[in-house]
Amino acid sequence: MTSWNRLDGVPRPVAALLLALLAALMLFGGADRHAPRAVDTHSPLIAREEGMIGDHALYLKILRRMEAGQPYYPAVAEAHRPYGYPLRPFVAVRLPTLETMLSRIGLPAGTILASLLGLATLFLWRRRLKDEPGLPDYARFAVLPMAVNLGQVMSGQWVLIHEVIAGVLIAIALALYRPRRPWAAMAVIAAALAIRETVLPVAMLFGLFALADRDWKAAGAWIAVGIAVAAGLALHAAAVADVVRPGDIGGAGWLGMNGWNNYIAFIHNSSILRFGAPPWVVAILTPLALLGWLAWRSRLGTLGLAVQLVYAAAFMLFARPDNDYWGMLVVPTLFVGLVLAPAALAALVRALAPPRHMTSHA
């Protein structure tokens, strides 16, 4: 039976290269003393609402306006302007799906629903890791780091952040992914796209895997999802344009080119590790988690690794430092790889060991 660990038996040069890359990423990530993004709580441009500050307060202000009967887009415009939030380009304004839902059911009910989604994520992942062929029994403990990071969905503050809910839905979709039965994962990704269009890379990866399998029906369905997203964004852009005034500010752009340390900072600032763990801990754990994903020889392992690497590249190339909340798209699943990392490291060390020569005795 083929080992679940694709690093078992790799050639010595490959093992040496991977270990050198791992060490370099750890050292480089730890060299920059990034810290959780500080918020100047005394600034008059910091939104405040019901004990919340910053983005949390902004989205709560929008929610309260909607609960009072104001439509979404006018509520967004009136909430953004006093605090210097951009209204241009249109992607600076969140899609209305999450706020509309919360305005109908209320923030307490939304928090309960998000908590149930988090619990469902843990259940689905534990079952998937238990049933995945070839994985060792200890792999099911990968839900522990996931549970720690999913705890924030149980807070009313974080339910207001679109990336938190979208990240939970991405995790659910990966747990549900079956190449021959793609429809459940597709439905969940479609829901995530309705909340945050930055989930589109995940949908594209699912579609590419369907094309690689020559599953034309699933590939066609993913193309239809993409067309629906494009149509929804066009409507969103038109609605934003209707409330924008000539004096409204624009965003700073998304070509940060801030590199590996920006990615490490995003993981630090979006995960439970921001509460007390120094940055060098994140600089060590993150490459190890990616190594664990690399070692997992399965379709899900390959897809999960691809999701992590695509977003890592996006955070390094396009994101500004203040976009660190994007990390919440991947944090729920990233540290699954940590449980598989020790076996991956052991395989690489074994590959470096000099070959044993058989001796014959007369």
What is the tens place of the pLDDT at every residue in 15-57? 999 999 999 999 999 886 555 555 555 566 789 898 899 999 9
Point out the least confidently predicted range of 185-199, 263-277, 280-294, 301-315.
263-277
Query: Tokens for 207?
Result: 């579609």
What was the pLDDT predicted at 19?
97
What was the pLDDT predicted at 321?
87
Point out the least confidently predicted range of 67-71, 136-140, 169-173, 283-287.
136-140
Cis (ω within 30 of 0) for the bond into 89? yes
The rounded distance, in Å, linking the Cα atoms of 199 and 329 is 8
What was the pLDDT predicted at 33?
59
What was the pLDDT predicted at 360?
46
Instruction: Burial-class residue 40 by CB neighbours within 10 Å (0-12, 13-18, 19+).
Output: exposed
The rounded distance, in Å, linking the Cα atoms of 51 and 32 is 33
How much of the chain exceeds pLDDT 90, in percent? 82
Output DSSP code: residue 56: H
What was the pLDDT predicted at 41?
55
Point out the least confidently predicted range of 89-103, 256-270, 284-298.
256-270
- pTM of the entire structure? 0.94
- At 185-208, the pLDDT tens digits run 999 999 999 999 999 999 999 999
Q: What is the mean pLDDT of the chain?
A: 92
The rounded distance, in Å, linking the Cα atoms of 324 and 328 is 8
Point out the least confidently predicted range of 7-11, 28-32, 121-125, 168-172.
28-32
Check whether 156 has a pLDDT greater than 90: no
Instruction: Burial-class residue 234 by CB neighbours within 10 Å (0-12, 13-18, 19+).
Output: exposed
What was the pLDDT predicted at 290?
98
What was the pLDDT predicted at 91?
94
- At 300-359, the pLDDT tens digits run 999 999 999 999 999 999 988 889 999 999 999 999 999 999 999 999 999 998 876 644
